[in-house]
Amino acid sequence: MGETYRFNRHHFLTSLLIITAMLKSVHTITTNTEFVKSSCTFTTYPRLCFTSLSTQASLIQTSPKLMAHAALNITLASAKATSAMMVRLSSSRLKPREAAAMRDCVEELADTLDELRKSIGEMCRLSSSNYEVYMSDMQTWVSAALTDENTCTEGFDRDEMNGKTKVLVRGKILVVAHLTSNALALINHFASIHG
């Protein structure tokens, strides 16, 4: 009977520890997800912010810096995919004006990629001794990336552009621009907390 009692007590305590760990894990996941959701309220496109970053909640935890860093990485990935799509489209049969707008857009996106990569690099090097300089650089580069994306869409505003190409390009660039805008808002929010 004593052995059975010890086994049951041990089994009970083990089960209790497992349940406690699971509840703590669920609470942590919920806390991280809620942090992402509340941080997204500082952005212009909160729904896009949450859908793009909620899968990163366990990595972000409750860190505004990690939130801004994740937003930059997701924006860079989207810009890369959009740039690759535009390069493929530019080799298809396009009217001369469409081809010219596409070339310009590919160049603008190359600048965007460069500016986002620089911003991510600065975020990785960010420390208290160089905080203001690096933060200013990041804000400048992400703002410039947003300008480049807007310049790209302007090239497809003309009426003579092919409907399908125009809609496709504008739609993809708009997503990148919205992600960039959100990343900038999260960087600015992080700067306001830190500074």
Q: How many helices (H) and strands (E) does the chain have?
A: 7, 0
SS (H, E, C) 126-173: CCCCCHHHHHHHHHHHHHHHHHHHHHHHHCCCCCCCCHHHHHHHHHHH
Domain boundaries, the chain: 2-194
pLDDT band for position 20 (cuts 50, 70, 90) = low
Q: Residue 51 pLDDT > 70, yes or no?
A: yes
The whole-angstrom distance between residue 150's C-alpha and the CA centroid of its chain comes to: 18
Q: In the chain, pLDDT over 90 holds for what percent of residues?
A: 46
* pTM as predicted: 0.81
For residues 46-68, give the mean pLDDT.
93
Query: How far does CA 67 lie from the centroid of its chain?
Result: 8
Q: Which of these CATH numbers, 1.10.150.120, 3.40.640.10, 1.20.140.40, 3.90.228.20, describes 2-194?
A: 1.20.140.40
Per-residue pLDDT tens over the stretch 96-135: 777 788 888 899 999 999 999 999 999 888 877 788 888 8
What are the phi and psi torsion angles at 79 (to 5°)? -65, -40
